[in-house]
Amino acid sequence: MEVPNRSDVELAARVIAGHVHETPVLVGRTLDTLAGCEVFFKCELLQKSGAFKARGACNAVMCAPYELIANGVATHSSGNHGAALAWAAALREVPAYVVVPDNASTFKRAAIARYGASIIDSGPKLVDREFALAELVRSTGAHIIPPYDDARIIAGQGTIALEMEKQVPRLDALWVPVGGGGLAAGCIAALSGSSIRVLGAEPELASDAYASMRLGTRQPQLPALTQADGLRTSLGVLNFEMFKSCGIEICLVSEEEISSAQRELMSILKVLVEPSAAVPWAALRRHGRKGSKRVGIVLTGGNIDLSPAL
């Protein structure tokens, strides 16, 4: 699998233009004071399907020859990628099949169904998901579009960084959450050759990427215990290679810090922020600005169930 570069990200930006939103950037003086620097929040929670995943899914589906996806597209996902793929499949008028772990959010599961995908249940571990996906593909002939370990997905996610470059001049660093690593890898590709550092943030309870970078070998997925359900997945093979090539720094945060960060962002910015999206802000609050004066943070999604609060 070829490693995507900035040219691939620029091509992806042209492919998905007109299908996805160029999301706004929000700022808040109170948050700047708390962080000790200027912070710019890229609001992918306002993206199609409610998360940044729409970018990669759209790029992968729109780039695929129709004969390759005529029997449908398939993936495994705990939520946001599945919904995004279902949305993108509808653009090409092909079926979508999503393997969903049994510990997935019922709210996100409903969103996948709402966008028209057929849902197939599996166990929570990556091996469970992949086995169910393989069986599904054998029975349907659908084309697999992985949630993160795929050059088309990575390039699509990297379009966020291209937009940030345009929207926020003189940015020093861009913080992103790390689960499978597709977003971070895409931003690394997009910002190669620039002075903007990509920094990763990960829950302590899902710290396989952090351990992988420290040990130099890709580590297995940890038990699905973190509230940041979008970050429970194992770091992708291609993404890990890209991480190693640039030496990305990954910072860990606790569950308490994630909850606190989520409350701060929602109360101050007045937007819906799911736990996974709050992880970079939690990391900036815990680990500091690391010499940066102008920091970008990708708020990756806002798909949270509000029914208990209503």
Q: Which residue has the tokens 């990960």?
A: 202
CB atoms within 10 A of CB 129: 23
Residue 310 lies in a domain: no
Q: What is the pLDDT of residues 163-194, one digit of tens each?
A: 999 999 999 999 999 999 999 999 999 999 89
pTM of the model: 0.94
CATH of the domain at 121: 3.40.50.1100
- CA 2 – CA 158 distance, rounded (Å): 15
Last residue of some domain: 108, 124, 144? 144
Q: Are residues 94 and 32 in the same domain?
A: no
Residue 1 lies in a domain: no
Q: Are residues 33 and 80 in the same domain?
A: no
pLDDT at 36: 97
Q: Are residues 174 and 222 in the same domain?
A: yes
Q: What is the mean pLDDT of each run of 10 residues along the chain (310 residues)?
A: 91 98 97 98 97 97 96 91 96 96 84 92 87 94 94 97 97 97 98 96 97 96 90 93 96 98 97 97 97 97 77
Please answer whether residues 224 and 103 qualify as being in contact, where contact means their C-beta atoms are separated by less than 8 angstroms: yes
Show the domain range for 224: 6-52+151-305
Please answer whether residues 281 and 264 qualify as being in contact, where contact means their C-beta atoms are separated by less than 8 angstroms: yes
Please tell me whether residue 204 adopts helix, strand or coil conformation: helix
pLDDT at 309: 55
Catalytic center residues: 53, 78
Q: Are residues 185 and 296 in the same domain?
A: yes
The tokens for 142 are 């659908």
Q: Are residues 28 and 89 in the same domain?
A: no
Q: Are residues 128 and 155 in the same domain?
A: no
The tokens for 87 are 């949305």
